[in-house]
Chains A and B, each alone.
Chain A
Amino acid sequence: MRVFILLFLLISSNFIISQNCNNTITGKVLDLHDNTILVDARIVVLEINKQLLTNESGGFTISGLCNQTYTIEISHAFCLPKTYKIELISSIEKVFLLEHHLEELNEIILEGKTNNDSETSLENKITKEELEKSSSKSLGDVLNSISGISSLNTGNTIVKPVINGLHSSRVVILNDGIRLEDQDWGAEHAPNLDINAIDNITVIKGASALQYSGNAIGGIVITETAKAPVKDSIYGKTIVTAASNGRGGTTTTQLTKTYKSGWYGNIQGTIKRFGDFNAPDYNLSNTGVYERSLSVRGGINRFRSGLEASYSLYKMETGILRASHLGGAQDQIRAINNLEPLFVDDFTYNINSPKQDVEHHILKLKGFKKFEKLGKLDFKYSFQQNNRLEFDVRRGDDRDKPSLDLKLNTHTLLLDLDSKLSETANLKLGLTGQYQTNFADPSTGVRRLIPDYSEYNTGLYAILEKQINNQFIFELGARLDYTYLDALKFYRTSFWEDRGYDSTFQDIVVEEFGNQILVNPKLNFYNPSATAGISYNFKEDFKLLFNYSLASRAPNPSELFSEGLHHSASRIELGGLEFKSETAHKFSFTLQHDSDRIRFTINPYINLISDFIVIEPIEVQQTIRGNFQVWEYRQTNARLMGVDIDGEIKLNDYFKYNHQFSIIKGKDITKKDALINIPAASTRNAIAYTNKKLNNLNLRLQSEYVFRQNEFPDNNFEVFVPETETLEIVDVSTPPDAYHLLGFNSSIDYKLSKKSILTIGFGVSNIFNTNYRNYLNRLRYYANDLGRDYSINLKINY
C-alpha cells in the first residue's frame, strides 16, 4: 500500500512539470515458460488509469506517454499479475513475460504448450485424463491406443512399445527429460516406469527430436511430470482401480505442496497387485504381477531460474506363464499343437518361477536459468540403477537363485541451450555425456547373458527452427554421438573357434579357462544423425508436415555378445562381434486438419534402414537336451513403409466418432522376404457420448479389429519325434487369425466439496469373451490372450 501512496505522490508531482508527452510503449506479452503469446492479457497503466487488452499476437501499444516513470500492471486469466516500473525518456519496445499458471487444480491445462519437440513431424499425445483412466495399465498398454503404435508382449504384463514396426533399442523412452536406461535391448524387458508418476506422454514416430537422441530409429516416447504452480497451495489425488481379470487392482496417490515463493514438493506412490490372469476358457497360471513405485521431488521454480531434485524407485515382480517354460524343439511341438496350455493350475496370487524381479532407481537433479540475450539454459544430471533378476525353474541348491542378475548403472549429464535468435528463429544447442557400467553377477551359476562392460557416450547437437512466414516453418538439425564400449566377455571356446573368431579377433583374448575364453573387445562407434523438415499451414485449419530424419544406432550388447540358449524363447541366440551401426533414413509426411467439427491426420512414411540388425533362424542344433533352433543376428537392408490415420467427427454437441487405421509393410530388401514381427494392420472405431451438464458423463464404446498378418518369413523347421517316429514341423511362423474385440468405458464426476471431485469410472474390455491370440505376443504359441475384464476406477482430487 505504501508503494501505491508513494507512486501516487510521484505521479502527482510529475504532473506539475509539463513535458514532452509523445512517447509510445510497444509491448508484447508472452508466457515465460514457453513464449506462448498471451492474448487478451489486461494492461493497466496506473498513472493515467488506462486499460487495454493485448491483441491476437499478444501485442499492445500505448501512446501519448510522457518522460516519466510509469507503473504497468499486466494480468492474464491464468497468471499471477505482474507490475513493471518503466522510466520513459523515449518510445520503447519491450517484451513482458508472465508466468502462465494452472488456474484450477482440477483443470490442468495442457493445450497451452506450443513448444513442440519437433515442429515438422507429427506428435501424438496422451493426456493426463487418459493416463488416469488407465491407472492399472502399463506404459506399453497406454501407448497402444495411438495409431501406428503396437506392442511386443510377453504375456500381458510385459509390454514393450512398438513404433511403426520397431522396438527395443530402436525406441527411446525419455522419463522426464532423461533417457530411461533399463536394459531395453531385451524383447521381454518392459519399460521400468510407473505411468501414475507421469502427467502426459508425447510420442514422435521417428528420430526427428534430435535434442533427445540420435538413435531413435523407431521413435521417441517422452513422458513429463506436472509443473508445480507458483502459489500457496496443497493438493493431491488418489486413484483406486479394481479389475475382475487377475482379481486385483491399483492404488496410486500423490500430494503436492506449493508456495508462492516458488518452492514446491511432491510425493507419489503406487501399489499394483494382480494374481493369475485368465483367458476366456482357462486360467493363465503364473501370470500375476506385483508392482510398487515411489517418487519424491522438490525444488524451486522462479520466473527465470529453477532447480529440482528428485528420486524415484520402481519395483516390479511379474510371473511368466508357466506353460511357456519348456525345453527344446520337441517340447515346442507339444506346446504349439496343444490347444490349451499344458500347465493350468488354480488361481493364485503367488508368483513363482519363471519370473522377473526388476528394480529401477533414478536420482535426478535438474535446473534452468534464463538469460536475457542467450536464452534458456537447461542442466540435468541423473544417476540410474537398474537391477534385473530373472528366475527360471531350477534344480537343487539353485532353486531360489536367479538365472540372470544384471546391474546397470548409468550417469547422464545434459546441457541444453534454447535461444531465440530473432522473433522467427530459434536455435537449440546441447551436449550430453553418459557413463554406464553393467555388472553381471557370476553367483547365478549360469553363464553371463550380457557381459560386464563400461560404456562412454558423448553427443553434441544443434537444431535450428525458422519461421519463414505465417505459413512456413523450417527445421534443420544435426547431431553426432560417439560411443566407446569396453567389455569383458567369456565365450565358449567351441563357439569362438566355430565362428572363426580365433583368427579374426585373436588380439583381444585375455585368458583361457578350460572350455571358456575371456576376451576384451573395445569398440568405437560414431553415430551421426540429422533431421530436416518443413511445416506448411494453409486454409487456416490445414497443416502439411514433411520430415526427413537420418538416425544411426550402435549395436546393443545383446546383438553383439549373445551366444547361448535364450530360455524364454526356447532357442539359441548368437550375436556378432563384428557388427557396425545401423543407419535409417525416414521420410514422413503428415496432413493435418483441425476444425470444430472434424479433425484428422494422415501420416504416410517410409523408413529405409541399412545394416538393419535382424535375428533369424539358421539351423537346428542338437544338444543333450534335445534339438534347438539357432537364431543368429545378421545385418541386412530393410524397408518399412506404412500409413497411420486418425480421425474424429463431432456428430453433435454430445456425440463424437473416432477412427484409427494403421498398416505397415516390412521387407528385408536383401533377402527379398517379409520382416518378422511386423504388426498386422488394425483399425479402431469408437463412438463417445459426453455431457458436461450431466456431471460430465462420458460413455464410450470401442471396437478394435486386428487383421491377420499375411506377410511373414517362413521360419518353420522339422524335427524328429521319437514317440511317433516321424518328422514333424515346428510351426513358429504362422501368425494367428484376425480378431475383433469390443470394449466399453464410462465415467461420471461428483463434486464432493468446493475443492474435491470424485470421478467414478466403469469399464468392460473384451465384452464377448473372445478367444484370440496376437501375432506380437511372444507367448501366443502357448495360450490365448486375456478374456473379459470388468473394471472400476475411482478418482478423487483434493
Chain B
Amino acid sequence: MKNFKLITLALITLLFTNACSNDDDATPPPVNEEEIITTITVTLTPNGGGTAITLKTQDLDGDGPNLPVTTVSGDLAANTTYNGRIELLNETEDPAEDITEEVEEESNEHQFFYTVSSSLNLTTAYTNFDDNGNPLGTAFTITSGAASTGVLTFTLRHEPIKPNTGLSDAGGETDIETSFNVTIQ
C-alpha cells in the first residue's frame, strides 16, 4: 500500500507541476489566412488601344460579416473586342500575395467561368489553357455587341471536372463568385 500512496502522490505532483508550467501568458501569434482570395481585379484592355476598364471586388474580411465591395471603373464601348486579364490577391498578407500565379501553376485544377446575363450583349472566349488544352481562363477576350446593360459573373472553380460544358457539370468547389453590373454604350 505504501507504493500506492507514493504513486498517487507522485501523480498529483506531476499533475500540478504540469498545470503550472503550461500556464504562461505568452500570447499566441495571429494566423493570417494563406489561401484566402480577398481581391479579384479584371482588367479589360480594348484591342486597338484606349483606356482599360477594371472590374474589382474586394472582401477583406473573407467570411466575416462585412460585404464585398464591387467597383466598375467605366462602361464598355459597343462592338469592341477587349483583352481580359484576371488578377487575384490575398490582401490579408503584407505585402499582398499574388494568387494568380498559384492558380496558373495549377492550371489543371482550376477554371474560370464567365456568365453573361441574357440582357447583356456580350460574348466571351478563353485565351489561356491548362496543360491538357482545357480552358483555364485567367486570360480571355470579351466582344461587346450593341448597347445594353446586364450582369457579368466570374466564377473560379477549384478542382472542377475537366473538360466540362459549363458550370452545371463542372463540379468542384467555388473559390470566387462575383457579379458586376456592366453597361455597354
Contacts and interface: CB of A to CB of B under 8 A. Distances in A.
On whether the two chains bind one another, the answer is yes
B161 A623 contact: no
Interface stretch (B7-15, B129-137, B140-148): B7-15
B51 interface: no
A456 B11 CA distance: 17
B64 A326 contact: no
A532 B28 CA distance: 46
B27 A413 contact: no
A437 interface: yes
B53 interface: no
A343 to B, nearest CB: 5
Given A365-B11, A413-B12, A518 B167 contact: no
Interface stretch (A46-54, A165-173, A392-400, A587-595): A392-400
Contacts of A433: 15
A572 B63 contact: yes
Contacts of B8: 379, 381
B67 interface: yes
Nearest to A413: B15
A330 B31 contact: no
A395 B15 contact: no
A444 B117 CA distance: 39
B86 interface: no
A444 B59 CA distance: 21
B95 interface: no
Contacts of A342: 161, 169, 171
Contact of A413 (B11, B60, B171, B174): B11
B169 to A, nearest CB: 8
Given A413-B11, A723-B167, A564 B29 contact: no
A381 B155 CA distance: 55
Contact of B174 (A323, A328, A498, A518): A328
A722 B31 CA distance: 34
A187 B151 CA distance: 39
Interface stretch (A208-216, A488-496, A549-557): A488-496
Given A452-B28, A623-B59, A725-B117, A367 B4 contact: yes
Q: How large is the interface on A (under 10, 10 to 19, 20 to 34, 35 or more residues)?
A: 35 or more
Contacts of A330: 174, 177
Given A334-B168, A395-B35, A365 B177 contact: no
B154 to A, nearest CB: 10
A697 interface: no
Contacts of B58: 624
Contact of B153 (A437, A515, A722): A722
B138 to A, nearest CB: 14
A516 B172 CA distance: 30
A622 interface: yes
A510 interface: yes
A586 B179 CA distance: 52
A623 B28 contact: no
Most buried by A among B115, B173, B176: B173
A639 B135 CA distance: 55
A513 B64 contact: no
A345 to B, nearest CB: 10
19 contacts: A305-B1, A326-B174, A327-B173, A395-B103, A396-B105, A435-B15, A442-B31, A445-B32, A447-B31, A488-B27, A488-B28, A494-B64, A510-B27, A516-B30, A622-B67, A624-B59, A624-B177, A625-B37, A625-B174
Interface of A: 305, 307, 323, 325-328, 330-331, 334, 342-343, 365, 367, 369, 379, 381, 393-398, 411, 413, 433, 435, 437, 440, 442, 444-448, 452, 454, 456, 488, 490, 492-495, 498, 510-511, 513-516, 518, 563-565, 572, 621-626, 628, 722-723, 725
Interface of B: 1, 4, 7-8, 11-12, 15, 18-19, 22-23, 27-35, 37-40, 57-68, 92, 94, 99, 102-103, 105-106, 109, 115, 117-118, 151, 153, 155, 158-159, 161, 166-169, 171-179
Given A397-B34, A444-B31, A452-B28, 16 more contacts: A305-B1, A323-B171, A334-B167, A442-B31, A445-B31, A447-B33, A454-B23, A498-B65, A513-B30, A564-B63, A621-B63, A624-B37, A625-B37, A625-B177, A722-B117, A725-B151
A-B complex: 4 closest residue pairs judged by Cβ atoms: A327-B174, A445-B34, A342-B171, A626-B177
